[in-house]
Structure 1
């Protein structure tokens, strides 16, 4: 009986973990970064598939905007931390830390990295884009 319960719990957790791995931005609404200036969790019932991931949205309007032009709302530089890239490292950005520069959203690994980017965005982005170009020719 205990083994059966343990097996069911592990299968449930594995199923949830597999589902969460397919969620882009850990379920954050990509449109909210630029429209609201905030990382807002998307709803599980307002979803679209793009590039093999489930993108979640806080509103139908946000989903519609994303579907019209997903590249405009997907984070730049593959969602990697811009500051880490500028230092020559490839580290994933955290969807809760971001900066919108121009028309593009960039993810960062921490609040400290966000402050560093915002202190000199042109320099950091120039370096990050150079590293990105070498990693993704």
Structure 2
């Protein structure tokens, strides 16, 4: 009887691992920058805090929401509720990809520590230099990124 139990435990562990791996990959999406293992958008930082506190603040597991195939974290229930009501406002533009690189047709993930709120929208940048360039000429970079985003987004979805 013991060998049968060992085989059963081994099979249960194997299928359990498959289930965990599937859950992590199913929770992610290429259209939004997420951690491929946890499904967390923007490394778990609270997207609303960029607006309300003018700083990058780590969200908490107690305040999560699912939107756009990603898991978003918030520092409190008020920020969570604001995001749920208006994800198009509080979520990073271009799915969290760097708009300067998008303007060149490249999908480079933004870093939650290199950010800027411009025109009441959140933008994340892969490098500090890109954020500074964008801040100097936001209209130019937004025009270039917006023109290339549909093609890049289609590519990411494949």
Fold in common (TM above 0.5): yes
Instruction: Report SS of the residue matched to 1:30.
Output: coil
- Say whether residues 1:57 and 2:39 are aligned partners: no
- Large movers: runs of 4+ above 4 Å: none
Match among 106, 120, 125 for residue 89 of structure 1: 106
TM-score when scaled to structure 2? 0.71
Structure 1 residue 90: deviation in Å? 1.4
Paired position in structure 2 for 1:133: 150
Task: Say what the alpha-carbon RMSD is for the aligned residues.
Answer: 2.0
Q: Does 1:123 align with 2:116?
A: no
> Matched residue of 1:33: which SS?
helix
The structure with the larger Rg is: 2
* Ranges in structure 1 where 5+ consecutive residues have no aligned partner: 1-10
Alpha-carbon shift at residue 57 of structure 1 (Å): 0.4
Asked if the contact 1:85–1:91 (Cα under 8 Å) also holds between the matched residues in 2, the reply is yes
Please report how far the alpha carbon of residue 20 of structure 1 lies from its aligned counterpart in structure 2 after TM superposition.
Answer: 4.9
- The SS at the match of 1:55 is strand
Unpaired segments ≥5 residues, structure 2 = 1-16, 25-35
Q: Which residue does the alignment assign to 1:113?
A: 130
Give me the whole-angstrom Cα distance separating, in 1, the residues matched to 2:37 and 2:105: 29
Q: Which residue number in structure 1 is paired with residue 29 of structure 2? A: none
In structure 2, the CA distance between the partners of 1:107 and 1:49, relative to structure 1 (3 Å rule), is same
- Cα 1:136–1:47, aligned 2, differ >3 Å: closer, same or farther? closer
Distance between the aligned counterparts of 1:29 and 1:84, measured in 2?
Answer: 23
1:94 Cα deviation from its structure 2 partner: 1.1
TM superposition score normalised by structure 1: 0.81
Matched, 1:48 2:70: no
Residues 114 and 101 of structure 1: CA distance in aligned 2, closer, same or farther (over 3 Å): same
How far, CA to CA, are the matches of 2:66 and 2:76 in structure 1? 16
